[in-house]
Amino acid sequence: MSGMAGTRVLVTGAGGFVGSHLVERLVRDGAQVRGFFRYTSTGTLGHLSDSPVCSDVEPFLGDVRDGPLVTRAVRDRDVVFHLAALIGIPYSYDAPASYVATNIDGTLNILNAARSIGARVVHTSTSEVYGTAQRVPIDESHPLNAQSPYAATKIGADMLALSFHRSFGDAVAVLRPFNVYGPRQSARAVIPTIVGQLLNGSEVRIGSLTPRRDLTFVTDTVEAFIRTAGTADAIGRVINVGTGRSTSIADLIAIVGKVVGRQPVIVGEPDRVRPATSEVEVLQADASLAAQLLGWRATVSLEDGLKDTADWIADHIDEYGQASRYVR
């Protein structure tokens, strides 16, 4: 058991990649978990549908854009982990209004509901808000520079969250993960794209090879969420969560090749290249504040994390069989 034992929590985005891992950890730690899942006519609970903890989670189906519904979801909760968001960067070029509605308006609904009952909120940010690093490593005082509509909406949501602390004294913390990866991540993300292609052959269709990313395994990120919820000094703060190391896409392909036993053949695909002024070239975290406030450091090596990820994708290869096909 951890400090979360008996705590009544709501996790938005509970069926997603990071959200499902967080829910499983919370259940194992003895929390009373309500999961907020985006409603569909199938009633799916996303990645939790087949999880061994599914029966231990109270499901709540809805949409974070619906304020009255969010208020009902947040009722009687002690802590809200807010992960629900539209996250695909390329699609945000096509549908920016959707990102505003979900990422900004949805966050406002969460904050209003939590404020009404005094619940603590751990709001999920993203390293994309920094844009290409102006200095490395990137600490929390680094300028914010949205290079995509997605990043702009996340900046807006972050500022809303912090404003509720400053204006009303609400217990809000902003966790800013860097480049989370691991089992269950969408096939459209770069690591599943590379792994899925190499499990099916040697050819890797990819866009830019030069961007560098701070790749953080999902269990390490989940640990940071748990610690943030239980740390009073995290309130009102933005906290970076990353390894402090960056890896280029070219080097990542080579490492994945070793992990899965393939010699990659790289094929450039222009459709996968972001607009020149939109590509974030370098993300590398200064996570010293997380170490200071939370006692947190990343513990999973890139090689070990990639092996666990590749093993999971191999067991679900039908879902990743079209990894070479670009999806915005």
Domain ranges of the chain: 8-180+216-241, 182-213+245-284+299-320
Catalytic residues: 150
Average pLDDT of the chain to the nearest whole number: 94
pLDDT at 268: 83
Model confidence over 256-278: pLDDT tens digits?
999 999 999 999 887 766 676 76
Q: Is 61 exposed, middle or buried (0-12, 13-18, 19+ CB in 10 A)?
A: middle
Mean pLDDT confidence for 275-283: 81
pLDDT at 296: 98
- Is the pLDDT reported for residue 325 higher than 60? no
Pick the CATH number of 8-180+216-241 from 3.30.420.40, 3.40.50.720, 3.20.20.10, 1.10.600.10: 3.40.50.720
Of 55-59, 186-190, 299-303, minimum mean pLDDT range: 186-190
Torsion of CA 84, 88, 89, 92, to 10 degrees: -80
Cα–Cα distance for residue pair 288/39, rounded to 1 Å: 38
pLDDT at 279: 80
| Three-state DSSP class for residue 59 | strand
- Is the pLDDT reported for residue 1 higher than 50? no
Model confidence over 96-149: pLDDT tens digits?
999 999 999 999 999 999 999 999 999 999 999 999 999 999 999 999 999 999
Cα–Cα distance for residue pair 167/150, rounded to 1 Å: 26
pLDDT at 318: 83
Give this prediction's pTM.
0.94
Mean pLDDT confidence for 241-256: 98
Sorted by sequence, the CB contacts under 8 Å of residue 46 that are 6+ apart come out as: 14, 15, 16, 19, 20, 37
Number of helical H runs and strand E runs in the chain:
11, 13
Q: What CATH number labels 182-213+245-284+299-320?
A: 3.90.25.10
Q: At 75, give phi and psi (nearest 5°).
A: -50, 140
Q: Are the C-beta atoms of 152 and 201 separated by less than 8 Å?
A: no
Cα–Cα distance for residue pair 140/50, rounded to 1 Å: 37
